[in-house]
C-alpha cells in the first residue's frame, strides 16, 4: 500500500488528474449502483408478490413507493452531473407548439384545442430538450375528453381540460418538471408547469 501511495505522489499533476477523475467516477458509480440495487430489490420483490396474485397490503405499497423514491433520489445527482455541461435558454411557447404537434395525432388529431400562446418567444432558463419533455408530459397528464385549453404566460404553461374534466397529476410529470428546473402544481382543474423565466 505504501508503495502505491509513493508512486501516486511521484506522478506529475497532468497524469494524476485523470486518475483522480476516474477514481471519483468509480466511487460515484459504485455508490449509485449500491443504492439503486437496494431500492430495486424491494421494488422487484413487491412486484413479484403482486404479479403472483397475492394480495399486497397498503403498507407494502407504501414501501414500494418509498423504494422508488429512494432510487430516484440516488439517480438524480447523476442526472444533474450529466446535465451540468450547460443550462441554456429555451422558448417555452415554441416547446409547447412542438409538444402539441407530437400530442395531437391518432385519436387526438380532432381534439378541440383552445390555445393562448404568445406571438414571439417566451424565454425560460432551461435546456430546450428538458422543456420539450416537460411540456409533452404535462399534456399527457391531462384527460382531454372534452377538449383542452393551453396557455403560456410568464414562464408558466397552464393546461386545462375543457368542461372541467379531471387532470391526472403524475409522479413522472412532476419529476420531469423538476428535472427541467421547474415545478408542476394543480390550480383547480388545471395543471401548471412553472419554469424559471430567462
Residue ranges per structural domain of the chain: 2-82, 90-194
pLDDT at position 92 is 95
Q: Which residue has the higher pLDDT, 178 or 2?
A: 178
If residue 131 lies in a helix (H) or strand (E), which one and from where to where?
A: helix 128-140
d(CA 72, CA 49): 22
Cα angle vertex 49, ends 48, 51, to 5°?
65
- Whether 15 has a pLDDT exceeding 70, the answer reads no
Question: Is residue 97 pLDDT above 90, yes or no?
Answer: yes
DSSP at 154: T
**CATH number for the domain running over 90-194:** 3.30.565.10
Assign 117 a pLDDT band (cuts: 50, 70, 90): very high
b/e per residue, 19-41, with b = 16+ CB within 10 A? Answer: eeeeeeeeeeeeeeeeebeebee
pLDDT band of 62, cuts 50, 70, 90: confident
pLDDT interval class at 195 (50, 70, 90): very high
Q: How far apart are alpha carbons 36 and 60 in whole angstroms? A: 18
Q: Look up the pTM and report it.
A: 0.59
* 195 contact partners, CB below 8 Å, separation of at least 6: 92, 124, 125, 126, 131, 134, 155, 156, 157, 180, 181, 182
Q: Is 63 helix (H, G, I), strand (E, B) or coil?
A: helix
The arithmetic mean of pLDDT across residues 132-142, rounded, is 85
Beta strands in 132-172 (DSSP E): 148-153, 156-161
| Per-residue pLDDT, 91 | 94
pLDDT at 11: 54
Amino acid at each position: 500500500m505504501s508503495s502505491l501511495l509513493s508512486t501516486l505522489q511521484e506522478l506529475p499533476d497532468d497524469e494524476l488528474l485523470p486518475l483522480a477523475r476516474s477514481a471519483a467516477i468509480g466511487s460515484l458509480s459504485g455508490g449509485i449502483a449500491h443504492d439503486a440495487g437496494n431500492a430495486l430489490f424491494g421494488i422487484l420483490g413487491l412486484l413479484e408478490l403482486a404479479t403472483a396474485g397475492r394480495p399486497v397490503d397498503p403498507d407494502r405499497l407504501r414501501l414500494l413507493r418509498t423504494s422508488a423514491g429512494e432510487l430516484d433520489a440516488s439517480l438524480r445527482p447523476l442526472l444533474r452531473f450529466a446535465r451540468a455541461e450547460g443550462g441554456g435558454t429555451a422558448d417555452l411557447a415554441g416547446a409547447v407548439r412542438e409538444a402539441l404537434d407530437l400530442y395531437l395525432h391518432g385519436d387526438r388529431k380532432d381534439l378541440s384545442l383552445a390555445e393562448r400562446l404568445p406571438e414571439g418567444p417566451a424565454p425560460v432558463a432551461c435546456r430546450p430538450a428538458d422543456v420539450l419533455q416537460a411540456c409533452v408530459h404535462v399534456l399527457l397528464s391531462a384527460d382531454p375528453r372534452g377538449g383542452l385549453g393551453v396557455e403560456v404566460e410568464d414562464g408558466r404553461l397552464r393546461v386545462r381540460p375543457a368542461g372541467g374534466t379531471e387532470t391526472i397529476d403524475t409522479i413522472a410529470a412532476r419529476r420531469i418538471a423538476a428535472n427541467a428546473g421547474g415545478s408542476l402544481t394543480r390550480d383547480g382543474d388545471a395543471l401548471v408547469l412553472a419554469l424559471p423565466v430567462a
